[in-house]
C-alpha cells in the first residue's frame, strides 16, 4: 500500500505462515481490509456505505444462486415457478423476498455511496479511476436489476422488457433491427426470458470483478475523508482493522434491521401489484412504471416531448443514457481543487438543489403524466443537465472556498473532522468539540 | 493527451451537449405550457367518481397481522359456494387447506367432492378425460382456456383469484370494497358525464378502476351461504370473510413471516447494540 | 495503532473515567459478544439456504400412491410409480409362493422370508420398488415377456443381479433384496403406498 507507515503482515500461526509463503492470500486480505490498510481517522457514517454495498451484493448472489435452483426460465412456467418458490419450496418465500428487497437495499446503499462521493469530491484526482469503475459498476447494476425484474414474468416484467428494449428502436435506421435482435423475436418471449436469465446470473459476478478493481484503485491513493484534505502522516490515519471493521459491523447491523423489516413486514412495499398478474402480451397495465430506483431516469426519458432536429423519443433516450454517462466526465467537469463540499458553500447549495431535483424526478417518474407533472419533469430534467454541464464548471471556476484545515488531524482537533452532510447543512459551521469522545459519551 | 481531452470536454463539449438538452427541454416546456393554456383540463368520470378501497379491518392487516382460521374457513365456504362458479384458484392446492385447520379426511372429502374434476387421460383409450381431485392437486381451472371463459361470460374473462389480494393496491380492502360496492349510478355522474352511463351487461361499482365491471353483484343478499359456526352471513360479513380467505391464498406464509420477522428484528437489535458498544470501545480515546 | 492517543485527547473528566482499569475487559466482552452474535446469525441464516434444497411441499404431497389391484391376475405384475420411482406390484401364483418358501434362509444373502416381505393373509401380493439395490437400474421381469432371470423373479440387465419370486437377491452384485416400501391395504383391492 502506498503509505509507508502501513503495518506489515506477520503470520503468527505456522499454518498461516505456510499459506502466506505459498499463496499470500492472508496478506492480501490484511492489506485490503485488515490492519494493513491505513484509513483517515475522521470518516463519518457515510463511509459505511461502500462495505454495505459489498454486503448487499453478497446477499443478492447467495439468494440468487439458491433461487435459480427452483426458477424455470420459460414463458409458460416462469410465473408459476416463482409462485411455487413462494408456496412450496422450504423457506422459498423468505429467499425470494430477500432477493427482491435486496435489490432495493443495494440501490439505496449505492445511491447513498454515490451521493457521498459527489458531496465530498471523492471522484477528483487522484481517485478518478475509483470513480470511473464505480460508474461502470452502477451501469452493470442497472442492467442486472432490469433483467432480474423481467424474470418473474408478471405484467410489469413483460411490459418493462417491452418498453426498455423499445428504447433501442429510437436509434435511427437500425433501431428496430437492434430491438428484434435483443429480444430474439418481435416481442418479449422465451428467447428474451432465457437470455435475460443467463445474463442476470452472469453480470453479478462481473460486478464482483469490477468491485475488486474498484477497491484496488482505491487502495493506491487511499480513502478520501470528509475534509477532502489528503493524508499527511501517520497521525492522520488508523488501521482499517479493528477501527473500521468495528464501525462497519455496527453499520451492517443497522442495514440488516432495515432489510429485515422490509422482508418480513413490508415485502411488497417497493414492488408493484401488477407484477402479481401473469404476463399478458395482449393487455398493457394502465400505468407502467419501472422499479423505484429507475424512476428519476424514467422521468428524464418522459420529459422530452418535442421533436427538435431529432425525434422527441430519441432525445429522451439519449438524455436518459446521457444522464448516467455524464457521470463519467464528472472528474473533469469539476475543476475546483477543493474536494469536500463542506468547504465550498456555493457549490454545496447547488448540490442540495441537485439532491432535491433528483428526488423530485423520482417522484415524477412514478406519477401519472399530466401537463403539470410533464412541465415539472421538464424543469427538473433541465436542472439535472444544467447542474453538471453548466453550473458545476462555472461554480468551480468562480467560487471562493472556505479555508481548508492543514491536515486531517488539525480538523479533528478543531472538531471539524467528522462533520456530516446534515450537520453542516444545518449549521454552516460546527459545534466545537462535537465529536470528542467526552461529548459523545 | 488526457489533459487536453479533458480540458476540451470541460470547456466546450459539455456546453454544447448541455445546450442541446436544455434547448430541447425548453421547447418541451413551451409546448407543455402552450398545451395547458389551450386545452381544457380533461376530467373523466373515473377520475371524479372512482373511490379508494374502504378498510375491511381484517386481522391479517398491519405489521403483525395474523390469520383467523375460523374466518378463513368461512371465507373458503363463500369462495366454494359463490366465487368458484367462475373464478379459479389455480396456484392453491387442496392440501394447502390444512393451514386453515381442516384435517386430512376433510381435505380429502373437499377434494373428492369438488364440482370440477382434474383433467386426466383415459387409461384405456388415451383420450382426454377427468378424474376426481386429490389433496395433492391444485384447484382445477373453471374454464379450460380463455376462449372458453370468454364464451361463457359475456366476453369477459373472470380472473384467477389466487393472487388477487396482492395484484391490487390494498388488495384485501379492495376485494371487500368491490364486493360490497355495487350501487346505482349517482345522478350527479350522469348529469356531468352523460356518456359514462353504464353500458348494457356491465355493472356500476365505484371501487372498480373503470367504474363498470362485467361481474354481476355476486353477494346478493344475507344468508346466501349457511355458516356452520353460527356467524350471521350478512353481505358485509361474507365479503370480509372471502377477502380474508383470498389474503391467505395470496400470501399463505403471512403469519409465519410476521413471527420470523419479530424474532429477526429483536436478534438484530441486540447484535447492533453489541456492535455499537464494541465500536465505541475500540474507538475510545481516538478523537475522530 | 498508528496514532498517539495522548497527543489528541484533550484532558477531560469523562475521558479519564472511561480509561479505568476494568475497561479492557468490557471492551473484549462487547467485541466477543458482537462477533458471537454475528456467528449465530450466520448459522441461522444458513438453515433456510440449506433447507431450500429439501423436497418441496408439492413434491412431498405426491409421496403416497394408491394402486388398484383388481385387474392384476395371478402370475401378472404391473409397474406403477411411487415417488417418481418404479414400483413393482406382483400377484404371485401358488407355485411361485411355494418356490419362495422352499428356499432355506441360510442360502440367502439378505435373509428374509416371503411372509416378512408381504402382508399377512395377502402373501400373494409382492410389492417392491423396481430399483436394483446394486446401482439403481430397473430390473426386468415385471412386464409381459420380460426376462425374469434364473430364479423366476426379476433380473437386472445392468450387472446381472438376479432376484427370486419373493424379490430377494440370489446372484449377482446387488447387496440387498428389492426394497419393500411402507404400504397398507385400504380395501381388498386397493393399497396405499407410502
Question: Where do the H-state alpha helices sit in A69-91?
Answer: 78-87
| Three-state DSSP state, A242 | helix
| C110 and C164 co-located in one domain | yes
DSSP string of C134-149?
Answer: TT-PPPBSSSTT---T
Interval A380-408 mean pLDDT: 92
**A168 has a pLDDT exceeding 50:** yes
Q: Is the Cβ of A290 closer than 8 Å to some Cβ of chain C?
A: no
Q: Write down the catalytic residue from A99, A122, A241, A248.
A: A248
Q: Does residue C186 belong to any structural domain of this protein?
A: yes
Q: Is the Cβ of B270 closer than 8 Å to some Cβ of chain C?
A: yes
Q: Does residue C125 belong to any structural domain of this protein?
A: yes
The predicted pLDDT at position B43 comes to: 77
> pLDDT-based confidence at A440, cuts 50/70/90?
very low
pLDDT digits over C88-139, tens only?
999 999 999 999 999 899 889 999 999 899 998 888 999 999 999 999 999 9
The predicted pLDDT at position B38 comes to: 77
Using CA coordinates, name the residue in chain B closest to A226.
Answer: B288
| C67 and C116 co-located in one domain | yes
Q: Does residue B190 belong to any structural domain of this protein?
A: yes
DSSP string of chain B?
Answer: -HHHHHHHIIIIIHHHHHHHHHHHHHHHHHHHHHHHHHSPPP--HHHHH--PPPP---TT-STT----HHHHHHHHHHHHHTGGGT---TT-BGGGGGGGT--HHHHHHHHHH-SSPEEEE-TTT--EEEE---TTSBPPPSSSSHHHHHHHTTT-PPPP-TTTTTSSTTHHHHHHHHHH-B-PPPHHHHHH-GGGPPPTT-EEBTTSTTSEESSPPS--STTSS--TT-----HHHHHHHHHHHHHHHH-TTHHHHHHHHHHHHHHHHHHHHHHHHHHHHHTTT---
Q: Does residue C135 belong to any structural domain of this protein?
A: yes
Residue pair A290/A365 in contact by the 8 Å Cβ criterion: yes
Interval A97-112 mean pLDDT: 98
Q: Does residue B238 belong to any structural domain of this protein?
A: yes
Q: Is the Cβ of C37 closer than 8 Å to some Cβ of chain B?
A: yes
pLDDT digits over C155-166, tens only?
999 999 999 999
Q: Based on the residue annotation, tell me whether A232 is a catalytic residue of this protein.
A: no
A332 and B31 in contact by Cβ < 8 A?
no
Using CA coordinates, name the residue in chain A closest to B27.
Answer: A306
| C21 and C84 co-located in one domain | no
Q: Based on the residue annotation, tell me whether A336 is a catalytic residue of this protein.
A: no
Residue A305 CA to residue B32 CA, distance in Å, equals 8
**Neighboring chain B residues of C3 at a CB cutoff of 8 Å:** 286
Q: Does residue B147 belong to any structural domain of this protein?
A: no
Q: Does residue C1 belong to any structural domain of this protein?
A: no
Using CA coordinates, name the residue in chain B closest to A84.
Answer: B91
pLDDT digits over A133-163, tens only?
999 999 999 999 999 999 999 999 999 999 9
| C108 and C167 co-located in one domain | yes
A238 and C2 in contact by Cβ < 8 A?
yes
A253 and B25 in contact by Cβ < 8 A?
no
Residue pair B116/B107 in contact by the 8 Å Cβ criterion: no
Q: Is B228 exposed, middle or buried (0-12, 13-18, 19+ CB in 10 A)?
A: exposed
Q: Which of B26, B287, A30 is nearest to C12 (CA)?
A: B287
ipTM: 0.91
Which residues span the domain enclosing B71? 46-92+160-255
pLDDT digits over A294-351, tens only?
999 999 999 998 888 888 889 999 999 999 999 999 999 998 999 999 999 999 999 9
**C144 has a pLDDT exceeding 90:** no
Window 19-48 of A: residues touching C by CB (8 A cutoff) are: 38, 41
**Neighboring chain A residues of B211 at a CB cutoff of 8 Å:** none
A234 and C49 in contact by Cβ < 8 A?
no
Tell me what percent of the residues of chain C surpass a pLDDT of 70.
86
**C2 has a pLDDT exceeding 50:** no
A274 and B169 in contact by Cβ < 8 A?
no
Q: Which long-range contacts (CB under 8 A, 24 or more apart) does A397-402 make?
A: A397/A335, A397/A336, A399/A336, A399/A344, A399/A345, A399/A346, A399/A347, A401/A336, A401/A338, A401/A343, A401/A344, A401/A345, A402/A342, A402/A343, A402/A344, A402/A345
Which is it for strands C162-164 and C152-155: parallel, antiparallel or unpaired? antiparallel
β-partners of residue C163 are C154, C169
Chain position carrying cell 412495499: A269
A84 and C58 in contact by Cβ < 8 A?
yes
The predicted pLDDT at position B26 comes to: 86
Sheet arrangement for strand C190-193: C65-68, C190-193, C183-185
Q: Is the Cβ of C9 closer than 8 Å to some Cβ of chain B?
A: yes
Count A/C contacts: CB-CB distance under 8 Å.
Answer: 73
| C21 and C100 co-located in one domain | no
Q: Does residue C2 belong to any structural domain of this protein?
A: no
Using CA coordinates, name the residue in chain A closest to C37.
Answer: A253
Q: Which of A311, A326, A301, A288 is nearest to A170 (CA)?
A: A311
Q: Count of domains in chain B?
A: 1
Q: Write down the catalytic residue from A70, A247, A313, A434.
A: A247
| C97 and C13 co-located in one domain | no
The predicted pLDDT at position B96 comes to: 96
β-partners of residue C191 are C67, C185
Minimal Cα–Cα distance from C102 to chain A, Å? 49
Q: Does residue C69 belong to any structural domain of this protein?
A: yes
C3 and A70 in contact by Cβ < 8 A?
no
> pLDDT-based confidence at A424, cuts 50/70/90?
very low
- Check which CATH number belongs to the domain holding C124 and give it: 2.102.10.10
Q: Is the Cβ of C175 closer than 8 Å to some Cβ of chain B?
A: no
The predicted pLDDT at position B5 comes to: 59
A246 and C51 in contact by Cβ < 8 A?
no
Residue among B209, B252, B279 whose CB faces A286 most closely:
B209
The predicted pLDDT at position C14 comes to: 37
**A2 has a pLDDT exceeding 80:** no
- Check which CATH number belongs to the domain holding B194 and give it: 1.10.760.10
The predicted pLDDT at position C8 comes to: 40
Which residues span the domain enclosing C128? 59-193
Lowest-pLDDT range of A411-425, B87-101, C56-70: A411-425
Question: Where do the H-state alpha helices sit in chain C?
Answer: 5-8, 13-18, 23-51, 57-61, 94-102, 114-117
Chain position carrying cell 378425460: B129
In the numeric block, which cell numbers belong to residue A383? 436542472
DSSP letter for A278, please.
Answer: B
Residue among B11, B32, B288 whose CB faces A374 most closely:
B32
> Strands, DSSP E only, in A326-437?
none
In the numeric block, which cell numbers belong to residue C166? 419373493
Chain position carrying cell 466482552: C29
B31 and A385 in contact by Cβ < 8 A?
no
The predicted pLDDT at position C21 comes to: 46
The predicted pLDDT at position C9 comes to: 37
Which residues of C are part of the catalytic machinery?
159
**A439 has a pLDDT exceeding 70:** no
- Which residue stretches of chain B have pLDDT < 70? 1-14, 40-42
Residue A430 CA to residue A409 CA, distance in Å, equals 16
DSSP letter for A294, please.
Answer: G
> pLDDT-based confidence at A430, cuts 50/70/90?
very low
Residue pair C163/C155 in contact by the 8 Å Cβ criterion: yes
Q: B167 CB contacts (<8 Å, ≥6 apart)?
A: A273, A274, A276, A277, B250
Q: Does residue C144 belong to any structural domain of this protein?
A: yes
Using CA coordinates, name the residue in chain A closest to C51.
Answer: A90
Minimal Cα–Cα distance from C139 to chain B, Å? 24
Q: Count of domains in chain C?
A: 2
Q: Does residue C3 belong to any structural domain of this protein?
A: no
| C108 and C26 co-located in one domain | no
**Run of H or E including A119:** helix A92-119
Mutation to test the A interface, candidates C10, C52, C59, most A Cβ within 10 Å: C52
A-contacting chains (≥3 CB pairs under 8 Å): B, C
Residue among A92, A237, A409 whose CB faces C52 most closely:
A92
Q: What is the dihedral of CA A413, A414, A419, A424, to 10 degrees?
A: 180
Amino acid at each position: 500500500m502506498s503509505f509507508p507507515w502501513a503495518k506489515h503482515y506477520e503470520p503468527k500461526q505456522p499454518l498461516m505462515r505456510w499459506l502466506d509463503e505459498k499463496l499470500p492470500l492472508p496478506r492480501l486480505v490484511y492489506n485490503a481490509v485488515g490492519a494493513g490498510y491505513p484509513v483517515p481517522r475522521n470518516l463519518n457514517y457515510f463511509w459505511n456505505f461502500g462495505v454495505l454495498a459489498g454486503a448487499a451484493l453478497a446477499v443478492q448472489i447467495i439468494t440468487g444462486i439458491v433461487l435459480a435452483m427452483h426458477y424455470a426460465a420459460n414463458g409458460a412456467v416462469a410465473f408459476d415457478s416463482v409462485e411455487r418458490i413462494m408456496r412450496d419450496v422450504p423457506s422459498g418465500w423468505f429467499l425470494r423476498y430477500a432477493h427482491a428487497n435486496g435489490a432495493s437495499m443495494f440501490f439505496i446503499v449505492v445511491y447513498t455511496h454515490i451521493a457521498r462521493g459527489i458531496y465530498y469530491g471523492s471522484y477528483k484526482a487522484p481517485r478518478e479511476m475509483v470513480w470511473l469503475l464505480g460508474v461502470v459498476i452502477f451501469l452493470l447494476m442497472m442492467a442486472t436489476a432490469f433483467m432480474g425484474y423481467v424474470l418473474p414474468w408478471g405484467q410489469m416484467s413483460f411490459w418493462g422488457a417491452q418498453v426498455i428494449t423499445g428504447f433501442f428502436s429510437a436509434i435511427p435506421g437500425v433501431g428496430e433491427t437492434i430491438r428484434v435482435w435483443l429480444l430474439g423475436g418481435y416481442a418479449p418471449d422465451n428467447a428474451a426470458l432465457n437470455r435475460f436469465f443467463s445474463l442476470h446470473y452472469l453480470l453479478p459476478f462481473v460486478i464482483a470483478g469490477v468491485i475488486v478493481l474498484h477497491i484496488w484503485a482505491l487502495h493506491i491513493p487511499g480513502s478520501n475523508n470528509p475534509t477532502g484534505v489528503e493524508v499527511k502522516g501517520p497521525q492522520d490515519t488508523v488501521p482499517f482493522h479493528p477501527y473500521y471493521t468495528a464501525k462497519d459491523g455496527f453499520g451492517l447491523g443497522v442495514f440488516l434491521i432495515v432489510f429485515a423489516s422490509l422482508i418480513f413486514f413490508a415485502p411488497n412495499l417497493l414492488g408493484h401489484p401488477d407484477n402479481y398478474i401473469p404476463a399478458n402480451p395482449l393487455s398493457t397495465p394502465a400505468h407502467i412504471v419501472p422499479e423505484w430506483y429507475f424512476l428519476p431516469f424514467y422521468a428524464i426519458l418522459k420529459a422530452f416531448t418535442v421533436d427538435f432536429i431529432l425525434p422527441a423519443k430519441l432525445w429522451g433516450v439519449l438524455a436518459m443514457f446521457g444522464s448516467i454517462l455524464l457521470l463519467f466526465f464528472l472528474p473533469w467537469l469539476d475543476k475546483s481543487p477543493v474536494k469536500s463540499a463542506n468547504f465550498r458553500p456555493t457549490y454545496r447549495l447547488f448540490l442540495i438543489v441537485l439532491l432535491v431535483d433528483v428526488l423530485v424526478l423520482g417522484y415524477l417518474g412514478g406519477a401519472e403524466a399530466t401537463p403539470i407533472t410533464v412541465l415539472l419533469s421538464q424543469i427538473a430534467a433541465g436542472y439535472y443537465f444544467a447542474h453538471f454541464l453548466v453550473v458545476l464548471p462555472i461554480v468551480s471556476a468562480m467560487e471562493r472556498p472556505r479555508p481548508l484545515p492543514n491536515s486531517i488531524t488539525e480538523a479533528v482537533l478543531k472538531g471539524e473532522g467528522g462533520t456530516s452532510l446534515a450537520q453542516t447543512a444545518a449549521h454552516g459551521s460546527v459545534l466545537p468539540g462535537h465529536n470528542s469522545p467526552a461529548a459523545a459519551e | 493527451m488526457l489533459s487536453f481531452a479533458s480540458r476540451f470536454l470541460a470547456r466546450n463539449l459539455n456546453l454544447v451537449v448541455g445546450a442541446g438538452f436544455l434547448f430541447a427541454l425548453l421547447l418541451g416546456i413551451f409546448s407543455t405550457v402552450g398545451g395547458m393554456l389551450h386545452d381544457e383540463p380533461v376530467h373523466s368520470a373515473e377520475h371524479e367518481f372512482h373511490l379508494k378501497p374502504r378498510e375491511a379491518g381484517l386481522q391479517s392487516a398491519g405489521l403483525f397481522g395474523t390469520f383467523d382460521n375460523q374466518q378463513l374457513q368461512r371465507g373458503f365456504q363463500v369462495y366454494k359456494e359463490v366465487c368458484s362458479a367462475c373464478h379459479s384458484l389455480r396456484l392453491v392446492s387442496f392440501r394447502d387447506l390444512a393451514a386453515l385447520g381442516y384435517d386430512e379426511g376433510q381435505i380429502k372429502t373437499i377434494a373428492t367432492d369438488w364440482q370440477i374434476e382434474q383433467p386426466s387421460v383415459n387409461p384405456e383409450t388415451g383420450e382426454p378425460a377427468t378424474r376426481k381431485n386429490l389433496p395433492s392437486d391444485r384447484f382445477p381451472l373453471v374454464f379450460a382456456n380463455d376462449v372458453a371463459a370468454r364464451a361463457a361470460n359475456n366476453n369477459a374473462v373472470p380472473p384467477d383469484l389466487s393472487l388477487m389480494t396482492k395484484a391490487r393496491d390494498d388488495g384485501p380492502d379492495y376485494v371487500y370494497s368491490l364486493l360490497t360496492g355495487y350501487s346505482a349510478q349517482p345522478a350527479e355522474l350522469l348529469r356531468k358525464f352523460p356518456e359514462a352511463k353504464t353500458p348494457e351487461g356491465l355493472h356500476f361499482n365505484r371501487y372498480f378502476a373503470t367504474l363498470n365491471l362485467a361481474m354481476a353483484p355476486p353477494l346478493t343478499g344475507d344468508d346466501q351461504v349457511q355458516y356452520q359456526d353460527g356467524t350471521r352471513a350478512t353481505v358485509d360479513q361474507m365479503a370480509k370473510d372471502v377477502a380474508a380467505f383470498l389474503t391467505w391464498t395470496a400470501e399463505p406464509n403471512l403469519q409465519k413471516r410476521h413471527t420470523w420477522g419479530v424474532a429477526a428484528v429483536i436478534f438484530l437489535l441486540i447484535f447492533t447494540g453489541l456492535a455499537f458498544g464494541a465500536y465505541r470501545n475500540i474507538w475510545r480515546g481516538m478523537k475522530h | 495503532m498508528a496514532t498517539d492517543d495522548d497527543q489528541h485527547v484533550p484532558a477531560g473528566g469523562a475521558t479519564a473515567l472511561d480509561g479505568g482499569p476494568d475497561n479492557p475487559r468490557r471492551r473484549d466482552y462487547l467485541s466477543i459478544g458482537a462477533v458471537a452474535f454475528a456467528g449465530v446469525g450466520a448459522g441461522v441464516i444458513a438453515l433456510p439456504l440449506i433447507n431450500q434444497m429439501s423436497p418441496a411441499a408439492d413434491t412431498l404431497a405426491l409421496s403416497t400412491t394408491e394402486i388398484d389391484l383388481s385387474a392384476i391376475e395371478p402370475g401378472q405384475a404391473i409397474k406403477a410409480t411411487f415417488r417418481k420411482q418404479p414400483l413393482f406390484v406382483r400377484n404371485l401364483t401358488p407355485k411361485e409362493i411355494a418356490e419362495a418358501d422352499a428356499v432355506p434362509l441360510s442360502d440367502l444373502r439378505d435373509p428374509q422370508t416371503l411372509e416378512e416381505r408381504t402382508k399377512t393373509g395377502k402373501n400373494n401380493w409382492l410389492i417392491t420398488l423396481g430399483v436394483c439395490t446394486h446401482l439403481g437400474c430397473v430390473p426386468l421381469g415385471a412386464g409381459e415377456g420380460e426376462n425374469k432371470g434364473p430364479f423366476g423373479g426379476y433380473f437386472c440387465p445392468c450387472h446381472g443381479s438376479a432376484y427370486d419370486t419373493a424379490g430377494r437377491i440370489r446372484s449377482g452384485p446387488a447387496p440387498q433384496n428389492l426394497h419393500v416400501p411402507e404400504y397398507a391395504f385400504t380395501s381388498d383391492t386397493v393399497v396405499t403406498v407410502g
